[in-house]
Structure formats: C-alpha cells, structure tokens
Structure 1
Amino acid sequence: MALASLALGTLVTGQAQAAGQPGNSKKTGKDRLILVLGDSLSAEYGLARGSGWVALLQQQLERERIAAQVVNASISGDTTSGGRARLAALLTNHRPSHVIIELGGNDALRGLPLQHTQDNLAWMTQQAQAAGAQVLLLGMQVPPNYGSDYGRRFSQLFADVAREHKAALVPFFLQGVADVPQAAQWFQADRIHPNAQAQPLMLANVWPALRKLLR
C-alpha cells in the first residue's frame, strides 16, 4: 500500500504525450474517437513510446476489430484544474465520442481541497457529455498515511461524480499494481510511476468498462 502513495506522484515536469447527454453519442465505426485526458500515469512517463496503456488500448481495439481511434492528451503533472482548462479546446478539435478522465492524483499530492477536485471532475464530465461524448472516470486512492477519513472521501468523490452525472467508473485505476504485497515489481526505479510490465494490468482495469460503452 505504501507504493499507492508514490503512484500519486505524477511529476510536475513533463511533456504532453499528444498534441449531448450521457450515452447519446451518435458516432459509430471509424467516426468513434476516444480521448484520454490524464497525467503521467497515462502519458508514458519513463516508458518507451508506444508501450503505455493508452497505446495498448489502440492495439486492443484493433485486435477486437473495433473501429475507433485513440487520442492521448495526457500531460505529466497535470491536475483536474489543468484538465479543465484544456478540455474545451480538445473537445472542439477532436470531437470525441468517448472521453476517459484520468486525473485527480496530483490534486491529492498537492493537498488541494477535495471539493475543488470533485467540482472539476464534475465540470469536465458535464462538458464532455454536452459535446456528445460518453465519459469514463478512472478513480484513484490514497494510502493510509493520508488518514482514513481523507482516503475514504477522496476515493468516494469519483463514485459520487460518476453517479450524479451517469458516467462510467473504474473505482481504482491501479488495482493490482499499487495495492498488492509485491507492488515494487510493477514500478520504475523512481518507485512512483508504473513500469512497462504494469501497463497491461492498467489496461485490464480500464477495458471492461470502456468496452461496455463502445457496445
């Protein structure tokens, strides 16, 4: 569990990986575009290009012959405020049918108010849905040293946003990676970012929920 806290340390420095109503997306086939809005956990930080879970997602789609394109708009160190500031332009430029929001870990790392994080996630979910996209939220958890009450409320805010706005949810994006006894094997030398071997596990946490939306 100690590494779960380190997994929240999505470094502040870094580069971008890539430059309607809920459930009402009208895009089908090759018109479908999945926009991933995340931080370093999705931006291939410390990994060879093309080995992160987002790149593996595109390969998964191709293997299952699901016609959809993935755009990775993740930036290392990003917060929910950063994602909120970038989202409007991304929706306009890419017109996604699905939006995966993987943000919030850096908010906790910086000690930002939980209500601030929840409000930003809710706003992004609403804006994506208003643009005709289905939304999938990737939840995070914090370790015990944050306090049991804070940890409970932090993980709960993702569920609250998903329930209120009828969005899909992965309760813990790093399940099986940061919450297992031998967690060190799944992390890079910095003990912060998941390594290449962990990326398929991360995709496995996302894929069932996303596949339901793509159906």
Structure 2
Amino acid sequence: MILFEKLRRCLLLSLASLLLGGAAHAYSAPKTVLVLGDSLSAEYGLARGTGWVALLEQRLKSQKLEATLVNASVSGETTSGGRTRLPALLKKHKPDVVVIELGANDGLRGLPVAAAEANLRAMVGDARQAGAKVLIVGNRVPPNYGRDYAEKFFAMFGAISKDTKSGLAPFMLDGVADKIELFQPDRLHPLASAHPIILGNIWPHLLPILRTK
C-alpha cells in the first residue's frame, strides 16, 4: 500500500507539471502584431529604425515578449485606404493583435467624422472576425478645424473602443503635440526624439493585450 501511494503521488506530480508547463507555454506563445497606420507610424522623414514601431520591436525584445511585428503603415493613408487594405493583410499575416493608427489624414482633410468612424468600425470588425485583438490609437486635429469638429473627431476613437470593447491608446501625441520643437519643419510629423514619447503613450495599452492568451 505504501509503494502504491508513492507511485500515485509521483503520477499526480508529473501530470501537474505537464499541465503547468503547457499553460506556461500557451501564455508565452509567440504573437504576430500588425500595425496599420499612416505616416506617424511609417517613419516619414525619419532614419529607418527610429520611429515608434521600431522602438516597440526593441521593447518587445527587451521585455522578452515573443512577437513578430509587421508594420503595414503607409504615409498619407486614410481610414478608407486602411479599410481596403486590411482584409489582404489579415489573410497574409494572420495577426493575433491589430494596432489601428488611422484617422489623422481624414481629420487633416476635414473629411466627415461619420465616414471615418464607419471605416474604423469596419476594420475592428474585420480584425475581430479574423481572430485578432484590437488596439485603437486615438488622435486629435489642430484647433483651427473648429471646436465642434475637433471634439467629435477625438470622441470617435473612445466611442468605437467602448462599443467594440477594443483597447484604446487615447492620444498618441500626448506630450508631443504642444511642443513645436519636437516636430519636423512641416509641423505635422514628429522628430525621432518624440517617438519614445509616442511609444510611451501606446505601450501601457498594448502590453495587457499582448499578455493575454
């Protein structure tokens, strides 16, 4: 009986070890992160490897988070363009997480907020249907576009996040937008020195998503 009890305990311990090992493996399973953005994510006017997406890749490595980063950002991209491109990107890369950083060009062109919102909601839906979690990156337009338009534009991101239960980085240029010295001569695109701040605005909202199974 004593021998039988010892064997039973050894078997239970071995089984528990296998289960815990499997859980740990699932928790740390490598992920593919797709960033769908515009010039703010495409390193416009910057040396390669100095934008926030490249800095994110370095952060992932330093944090020992196994992830493949796909930067599908295109300068000048609107929500309409992103909506058109996303299905093919989802099919090709099969991402676990989709970061949607779009809307700024819609705003700068004064396009209807309702149209941009419809496009963003469609992208969230497509990503979700493909099995990916979503982080929406919010932005603002300059005050000269009028208070009503500016407020509706900014509120759009939060509304979509709430309704779709998606992650939200409220304002990617927080701590940057009000500092002219952090911008390139066009006063639209941040310098490389601003991109660590941008990553700091996005990282706390992305990390919990990356840590989920």
TM, length-normalised to structure 2: 0.85
Instruction: Give 1:120's aligned residue.
Output: 119
Instruction: Give 1:173's aligned residue.
Output: 172
Q: Equivalents in 1 of 2:29, 2:188: separation in Å? A: 36
Instruction: Give 2:32's aligned residue.
Output: 33
Instruction: Give 1:202's aligned residue.
Output: 198
Q: Equivalents in 2 of 1:192, 1:105: separation in Å? A: 10
What displacement does 1:143 show?
A: 2.1
Which residue identity lines up with residue 46 of structure 1 in the other structure?
G
Taking CA–CA contacts closer than 8 Å with sequence separation of 6 or more, which of the two structures ends up with the larger relative contact order? 1
Q: Which has the larger Rg?
A: 2
Which residue identity lines up with residue 213 of structure 1 in the other structure?
I
Q: Equivalents in 2 of 1:167, 1:193: separation in Å? A: 27
Larger fraction in helix: 2
Q: Equivalents in 2 of 1:46, 1:30: separation in Å? A: 35
Task: Check whether the contact 1:34–1:100 (CA below 8 A) recurs between aligned residues.
Answer: yes
Instruction: Give 1:47's aligned residue.
Output: 46
Spell out the pairing of 1:24-173 with structure 2 (5 A cutoff): 29=28, 31-173=30-172
Q: Is the partner of 2:175 in helix, strand or coil?
A: coil
What displacement does 1:192 show?
A: 1.6
What displacement does 1:30 show?
A: 5.3
Instruction: Give 2:189's aligned residue.
Output: 193
Q: Equivalents in 2 of 1:202, 1:72: separation in Å? A: 16
Q: Equivalents in 2 of 1:124, 1:30: separation in Å? A: 25
What displacement does 1:29 show?
A: 4.0
Instruction: Give 1:5's aligned residue.
Output: none
Task: Check whether the contact 1:30–1:69 (CA below 8 A) recurs between aligned residues.
Answer: no
Which residue identity lines up with residue 186 of structure 1 in the other structure?
L
What displacement does 1:28 show?
A: 5.8
What displacement does 1:146 show?
A: 1.3
Q: Is the partner of 2:48 in helix, strand or coil?
A: coil
Taking only aligned residues, the RMSD between alpha carbons, in angstroms, comes to 1.1
Task: Check whether the contact 1:47–1:195 (CA below 8 A) recurs between aligned residues.
Answer: yes
2:210 counterpart of 1:214: yes
TM, length-normalised to structure 1: 0.84
Q: Equivalents in 2 of 1:132, 1:143: separation in Å? A: 35
Task: Check whether the contact 2:38–2:75 (CA below 8 A) recurs between aligned residues.
Answer: yes
Moved over 6 A (4+): none
Task: Check whether the contact 2:110–2:145 (CA below 8 A) recurs between aligned residues.
Answer: no
Instruction: Give 1:8's aligned residue.
Output: none
Q: Equivalents in 1 of 2:183, 2:142: separation in Å? A: 16
Which residue identity lines up with residue 201 of structure 1 in the other structure?
I
What displacement does 1:170 show?
A: 0.9
Structure 2: gaps of 5 or more residues:
1-25
Which residue identity lines up with residue 149 of structure 1 in the other structure?
D
Q: Is the partner of 1:177 in helix, strand or coil?
A: coil
Q: Equivalents in 2 of 1:89, 1:29: separation in Å? A: 27
What displacement does 1:97 show?
A: 0.4
Which whole-Å deviations, capped at 9, do the CAs of 1:46-88 have from their partners, x for residues lacking one?
Answer: 1111111000000000000000111100000000000000000
Q: Equivalents in 2 of 1:30, 1:50: separation in Å? A: 26
Percent identity between matched residues is 54
Instruction: Give 1:9's aligned residue.
Output: none
Task: Check whether the contact 1:95–1:131 (CA below 8 A) recurs between aligned residues.
Answer: yes
Q: Equivalents in 1 of 2:203, 2:52: separation in Å? A: 10
Q: Equivalents in 2 of 1:58, 1:100: separation in Å? A: 13
